[in-house]
Structure 1
Amino acid sequence: MLAVDHLAPRTREDAPLSSLTREGLVFGCDYNPEQWDRDVWDEDMRLMREAGVGLVAVNIFGWSWINPDRGVWTFDELDEVMDLAHAHGIRVNLGTATASPAPWVTARHPEILPVTEDGTRRFPGGRQAYCPSSPIFRGYAAELSRRVVERYADHPALAMWHVSNELGCHNALCYCDASAVAFRAWLEARYGSLAAVNAAWGTSFWSQRYSAWDQILPPMAALSLRNPGQLLDFQRFSSDQQLELYRAEAAVIRARSSAPVTTNFMVTAHIRALDYFSWAGEMDVIANDHYLDRRLPDPLAELSFAADLTRGLAAGTPWLLMETSTGAVNWQPHNLAKGRGELLRNVVSHVARGADGICFFQWRASAQGAEKFHSALLPHAGTDTAQWRSVIELGRTLRALQPVAGSTVVSDAAVLFDWESWWALENEGRPSEDVRYLDQVHAAHAALAAAGVSTDVISAGADLSAYRLVVVPALHLVRDADAERIARFVEAGGTAVITFASGIVDERDRVRLGGYPGAFRDLLGIVSEEFAPLGPAQTVALDDGTTGSIWSERLRAVDAEVDARFVDGPAAGLPARTRRRVGAGTAWYLATLPAAEAYRDLLSTAAEAAGIRPIPARPGVEVVRRADAERAFTFVVNHTTEAVEIAAHGRDAITGEPVEGVVAVAGGAVRIIEETL
């Protein structure tokens, strides 16, 4: 059986997150003093201390504040804010101010404005009004970063550097002339020759063979389907261009300052343009922005997934929630207020899954601007409000949970996640538009959670030796080395559950011939001859009494055991679920998407066979465990309206009261039980 150990720690020798506030858990926020008169600043600092805020992100969108015109630098007000923060014992997460260029920059250089895939240029007036490949923008950003760093590198309030803000949120893909030049250079560096590009993209199809580099353009809107290899490489290129922006500013900072450097990721359901696994090693602190997405059928399940994936980016070590909201946001079709106790439940869910810091956008709700109806720690209605009282309660809770800092979540199971598979699976010309990558990953993660199995979300290229069970949902694009790593994991005693749409293409988006599921065909002992996707809302029956949706396929078992067959539908009578012993382990294949309860039961069976002891699970109740060498913390978050009981012993980490035997968790409440090991 595989040895089950903690994930290897990150190798970068940085200060722990506790150094950001000189405490344990971080409680912080974005602060935008440039939006307010000076006479508000002192009051803000006093109230921050009352709430327990110890870290503020400042100068995130400060370009026109400190550099209002070409050659004009006005740091006096930012100096005053930095000094005020220090005087009140508040540390600063200082932005480079490069998130959005000042109006004078785009007026002077309209050529830096981004171009969309239909060839139209986007105008200033919002934010991120720049092409990430523009050498002109990069030059201005480097100068701005240098000025900020030189002025504040030695300021006693400085805790951390914040490069730009949510890089690629709006301008991840740009199709302008500067992008075209940069794309060609990226391709030449990646492939070495035009012949290699032609081979990688399969340009013999539809007479697309290139004979000169300058013939290659970004994949702009066309009259028909576009080249999938070109689309995939442009997505890779675009992620790399945004990362280069970060690297350039980080290099300016590190040349002058030893403080940690980071930027805020957007690990969330609606942002897919950046491959954060390729970014993570560049960060001194892994930080994520996350807001409940009410457009989803289960926003809380997505929160849990995003937190687990962020922990995966941090290689299992604690991370920072850089932005979240106290209540409603302003950018969804229906911006719903949080219910009673929901703020605390959301925060505790993030902490339970590895966050050692919780920061909010923003401190004081804006009176003007595009985000004036976005909630904040200090609402429009002021301090005599239920929202402010909930913020005070949150501050007290985070102070009580200081001992949690530094502990980690230990999981015996993992879900593999891959941005390139996301891109490749959802590019043009696919077998079914109902097969959406994130839906499949969410379904696997939710099934494990429902089975009471603590789960890491890790990259397809990660070391698997710490796990007993690995779920591989819709890993459409697979490199040979990653497929071999999964096979070795199974041979060594692990259990892998691989779903449909996995193993189909290689890293060039070239179909693996010989039958599906391509890269996993031999491991699974099956051959699928033809995809047979289901129609909208269509389901199929299986002979074990369960149902499937989205997908079926016409496969045969070569040397695998058939665990269930399709009763009806386009693959009637053929295998729907198979299992094969490989070495000391087991490899499962799912040729359809099981219904939620059936998926839960299947993964529960696989987990039990793999030797995993689940945490007793109840619908709507999260139970997650963090531990260090001395203590363990069991987090119980009850999202239901009914009280639940759990077995526990130790002490209540918030109240300090002893806990023995069975403890009740009221509907809508949280309990954190500390146990000495």
Structure 2
Amino acid sequence: MSPRAWNSKITGIAFGGDYNPEQWPEEVWADDVRLMKDAGVNLVSVGIFSWAVVQPEPDRFEFDRFDRVLDTLAGGGITAGLATMTASPPPWLARLHPETLPVTADGTTLWPGGRQHYCPSSPVYRRYAGELVERVAERYGDHPAVAEWHIGNEYGCHVSRCWCDVSAADFRVWLQRRYGDVDGLNEAWSTTFWSQRYSSFEEVQPPRSAPTFPNPAQEIDFTEFGSDALLACFLMEKEIVNRITPDVPVTTNLIPMPRGTDPFAWAPHQDVVSYDSYPDPYEADAHVLAGFGYDLMRSLRHGQPWMLMEQAPSAVNWRPRNSPKPPGLMRLWSWQAVAQGADAVLYFQWRQSRGGAEKFHSAMVPHGGEHTRTFQEVRELGAELRAAAEVAGGRSTADVAVVMDWRSWWGLQRSSHPAVLEQFDAVTAHYAPLLGRSVAVDVVPPSRDLSAYKLVVVPNLYLVSEADAARLTAYVQGGGHLLMSFFSGIVDEYDRVHLGGYPAPFRDVLGLTVAEFWPLEDGGTVDVELAGTVTPATVWSEVVEPAGAEVVGTFTSSELAGGPAVTRHAYGAGVAWYVGTRLADGAMDALVGRVLAGAGVTSVLPGLPGGVQATVRSNDSGRYAFLLNHGAATASVPVPAATALVGPAPSDGRVALPPRGVAVLRLEA
């Protein structure tokens, strides 16, 4: 990990948001700083979309206005995460170099008028972007306002891959590095199927629109190539700012559950991980998938605190229907991020835009100004974060790991499978019972050392290498507990089926063979008897043949009636559980409870009522408990001896938390 501390200029928790002063006349800036100080803002992201402002023509840079922006912030004691300004090229670049524009799989060119209109592989785009970053870093690297570099912005949000000829050439170079020669590529891609065999790399194209199902291994590789091409853009800019300002840390904000970029590949190159999170207020369990994202962010750099770089103060503008956050929900969800390891709470954006595509996206300062509910809630949260400043730097310890692998996800959600399966449906089904029990969770790739965990949960690992499968098997053999669900261990890293019966690399550790997949019709159910109770299950069923595994749950309807649905297998010094269907929420919760008990895993605090999430973070100053009431009723929460930093104080060993209530406690023991 890099020794550069991202928050060296900030005391406590960073608070602020995206600041876009170029959208406003200069006389507004002084009022911005006044309101920022009033709200407790200490960090803003500046310059993300300023390329066209500071470089209005190819050979002309105009920094005077931006000089005054940073001087104004510094004069108000506010630090800046200064963007490299490369996220949205100016129109003149497309006019002079249309070859820099991205192209879709069907050959459609994506033109200026939105943002991210660049081909990640374009050497012309990279040259102009590099020249801009060099100018920005030289001019502002030692400015007193600059606390960190914000490189690019939301890589892969709109353009995660490009299918143009420039990208095709770059893809071939990437493939040559991976496979060495075309024979290696042919073997990995199974090109004897459908007469796809290549005689040279020059014949290889991106997986453009084809008459029918494209080659799945080619699609998986192209998706990973897309992530790597974007990462190359990031690393090009990082090299420049590191060379000019070696002491200034760097980050870039990952998008919510990034489908096109592998965060495990990106995280080692950042000084701090940052993340954008936009749960939907209309979804009753939105905090569950958000929580998974937060645990992932905390785990990417092995427990290092991370930054919530963007969230909405209230409503967004990009869903079909956009609900505002009811009173208290923004506060609750902000504290959830801190509870799960964030040392920064920022928003998009500071002042709500008057024009443009995001003018109806909420902001810290709405169109109605400072005398609005949103700004008052922002100001109150800022005060609370200052009151709990001592929690900054705190880390959490987890006994449970949830395995997530991006290449497996890319393979799972290809076409021509037994059924359409969604990675995050599987993740939510397994993660929700853990979050509901306030069990601390790390999210790890299958290549991570698993020996420290009491339980490893694998919602789906469709694609797995022999080495990673052996690692999971050795983990159980050495005394670990494993919970794995269906359609895992099916193919290798090149999407070739592991032969010998499903799931071949896990047959021994699970003590079973899956003889036949039996996915359910859309909306269909099958009954499962588990622990004396019959419950409906959805999505999937399969013919399971035990080979040493104990049958724990049984299908009681359909063609599979009487067959195993859930199994348990003692293997070496450990235990492996297998679930061959998608259990209903209550049944899955009960099963996870049983698995946790067998593994000796408990909640971070005992006796928590339903709907209350608890976490614990520790640093050199002490141990801190966070209590969050996601339920609809007031909850009485038992707590150890503690002092309240935020929210209600303990009384007679309990804290009364209203709906959407929050308490942050300094534990005395």
Q: Which residue of 1 aligns with 2:552?
A: 563
Residue 458 of structure 2 corresponds to which residue in structure 1? Answer: 472
**What residue is the counterpart of 2:617 in the other structure?**
626
Shift of the 157–452 alpha-carbon distance from structure 1 to 2, 3 Å rule, reads closer
Q: 1:184 aligns with which of 153, 162, 172?
A: 172
Distance 1:627 1:223 in 2: 56
The amino acid of 1:562's aligned partner reads: V
CA distance in 1, matches of 2:566, 2:253: 40
Structure 2 residue 566 is the aligned partner of structure 1 residue 577:
yes
* 1:330 and 2:317 are equivalent in the alignment: yes
What is the letter of the counterpart of residue 262 of structure 2? D
- Equivalences for residues 608-619 of structure 1 within 5 A: 608-614=597-603, 615=605, 616-619=607-610
What secondary structure does 1:41 align onto?
helix
2:3 is aligned, of 10, 13, 22, to 13
Mark the CA change 1:300 to 1:584 in structure 2 (over 3 Å): closer, same or farther.
same
Q: Distance in 1 between matches of 2:647 and 2:104?
A: 54
Q: What is the letter of the counterpart of residue 596 of structure 1?
A: D
Shift of 1:296: 5.6
Match in the other structure for 2:79: 91
Distance in 2 separating the partners of 1:370 and 1:60: 16
Report the more deviating stretch, 666-675 or 541-550.
541-550
- The answer (yes or no) to whether the contact 1:326–1:377 under 8 Å persists in 2 is yes
Output the CA distance in 2 between the equivalents of 1:408 and 1:676.
17
Match of 1:531 in 2: 517
Q: Specify whether residues 579 and 641 from structure 1 end up closer, same or farther in structure 2 by C-alpha distance, changes over 3 A only.
A: closer
In the other structure, the counterpart of 2:662 is 670
Q: Distance in 2 between the 1:453 and 1:276 partners? A: 23
Match of 1:7 in 2: none
Deviations 1:520-577 (A, max 9, x none): 1111111111111111121111233233211111120111111122112232222111
Structure 1 contact 504–517 (Cα < 8 Å) conserved: yes
Q: 1:128 aligns with which of 116, 131, 148?
A: 116
- CA distance, structure 1, for counterparts of residue 85 and residue 240 of structure 2: 14
Per-residue CA deviations over 1:46-89 (Å, capped at 9, x if unaligned) read 11011000011111111011000010000001101111111111
Contact 1:295 1:332 in 2 (8 A): no
Q: Are the equivalent residues in 1 in contact too, given 2:657–2:663 (CA < 8 A)? A: yes
In structure 2, what is the equivalent of residue 244 of structure 1?
A: 232
Q: CA deviation at 1:612?
A: 1.2
**Cα offsets for 1:155-202 (capped at 9, x unmatched):** 111100011100111111110000000000000011000111111000
- Alignment check: 8 A CA contact 1:650 1:660 kept: no
User: Does the 8 Å CA contact 2:458/2:485 hold for their aligned counterparts?
Assistant: yes
* Matched-pair contact (CA < 8 Å) for 1:412–1:455: yes
Given the alignment, which residue of 541, 547, 572 partners 1:552? 541
Q: Distance in 2 between matches of 1:43 and 1:317?
A: 35
1:355 correspondence with 2:342: yes
130-139 vs 511-520, which moves further: 511-520
Say whether residues 1:642 and 2:597 are aligned partners.
no
Task: After TM superposition, give the deviation of residue 621 of structure 1 in Å.
Answer: 2.2
5+ residue gaps in structure 1? 1-10
Select 1:150's aligned residue among 129, 134, 138: 138
* Equivalent position of 1:164 in the other structure: 152
Match of 1:6 in 2: none
The change in CA–CA distance for 1:655 and 1:622 in structure 2 (over 3 A counts) is closer
Alpha-carbon offset, residue 294 of structure 1? 5.2
Match of 1:100 in 2: 88
Match of 2:127 among 139, 156, 159: 139
Deviation at 1:113, TM superposition (A): 0.8
1:20 Cα deviation after fit: 4.2
Cα pair 2:436 2:611 within 8 Å, conserved: no
Q: Which residue, 653, 662, 667 being the options, matches 2:645?
A: 653
Closer/same/farther in 2, CA of residues 452 and 261 from structure 1, 3 Å limit? closer
Q: Which residue of 2 aligns with 1:3?
A: none
Is the 2:436–2:612 contact (alpha carbons within 8 Å) kept by the matching residues of 1?
A: no
Unaligned 5+ runs, structure 2 = none
- TM superposition shift of 1:505: 0.6
Aligned partners of 1:381, 1:613: CA distance in 2, in Å? 47
Is the alpha carbon distance of 1:319 and 1:512 closer, same or farther for their aligned partners in structure 2, counting shifts above 3 Å? same
1:133-176 residue CA offsets vs partner (Å, 9 max, x unmatched): 11110111110100100101111111000111001111111100
Residue in 2 that maps onto 1:516: 502
> How big is the shift at 1:437?
1.1
- Give the whole-Å Cα distance in 2 for the aligned partners of 1:250 and 1:63: 17
Q: Give 3-state SS (helix, strand or coil) of 1:279's partner.
A: helix
Are the equivalent residues in 2 in contact too, given 1:318–1:407 (CA < 8 A)? Answer: yes
Corresponding residue for residue 57 of structure 2: 69
Shift of 1:587: 0.4
* Letter matched to residue 565 of structure 2: A
Q: After TM superposition, give the deviation of residue 451 of structure 1 in Å.
A: 3.4
**Is 132-141 or 642-651 further displaced after alignment?**
642-651
Match of 1:35 in 2: 23
Q: Partner of 1:393: helix, strand, or coil?
A: helix
- Is 1:387 aligned to residue 378 of structure 2? no
| C-alpha contact 1:651 1:659 (8 A) present in aligned 2 | no
Aligned counterparts of 1:224 and 1:511: Cα–Cα separation in 2: 21
Contact 2:646–2:662 (CA under 8 A) maintained in structure 1: no
What is the CA-CA distance between 1:578 and the residue it aligns to? 1.0
Question: Per the alignment, in what secondary structure is the counterpart of residue 19 of structure 1?
Answer: coil
TM-score (normalised: structure 2) = 0.97
Partner of 1:8: none
Please tell me whether residue 448 in structure 1 is matched to residue 434 in structure 2.
yes
Deviations 1:300-336 (A, max 9, x none): 2111111111111131121001111100111111111
Q: 1:600 to 1:629 in 2, by over 3 A?
A: farther
**TM-score, with structure 1 as normaliser:** 0.96
* Distance in 2 of aligned mates of 1:74 and 1:208: 53
How far the C-alpha of 1:620 sits from its partner, in A, is: 2.8
Are 1:487 and 2:473 matched, yes or no? yes
C-alpha contact (below 8 Å) 1:149/1:253 kept by paired residues? yes
What aligned pairs does 1:137-286 form with structure 2 within 5 A after superposition?
A: 137-257=125-245, 258-268=247-257, 271-286=258-273
C-alpha distance after superposition, 1:73-108 (max 9, x if no partner): 000011011111111111110001000100111111
Return the offset for 1:609.
1.1
1:353–1:624 Cα contact (<8 Å) kept: yes
CA distance in structure 1 between the aligned counterparts of 2:633 and 2:283, rounded to whole angstroms:
24
Instruction: Compare 644-653 and 234-243 and name the one that shifted more.
Output: 644-653
Q: Name the residue aligned to 1:5.
A: none
- The answer to whether the 8 A contact 1:27-1:358 is kept is yes
- Report if aligned partners of 2:17, 2:348 keep a CA contact under 8 Å in 1: yes
> May I ask how many residue pairs the two structures share in their alignment?
662
Deviates more, 1:575-584 or 1:448-457: 448-457
1:345-367 per-position Cα deviation (integer Å, ceiling 9, x unaligned): 01011000000111111110000
SS in 1 for 2:537: strand
Partner residue of 2:297?
Answer: 310
Give the drift of 1:295: 7.2
Amino acid at match of 1:383: E
Once structures 1 and 2 are overlaid, which stretch shifts more, 104-113 or 654-663?
Answer: 654-663
Sequence identity (%): 44
SS at match of 2:578: strand
Cα displacement (A) at 1:14? 2.2
2:584 aligned partner, one-letter code:
A
Taking the aligned partners of 1:674 and 1:476, their CA distance within structure 2 comes to 43
Corresponding residue SS for 2:633:
coil
Select which of 24, 29, 36 maps to 2:12.
24
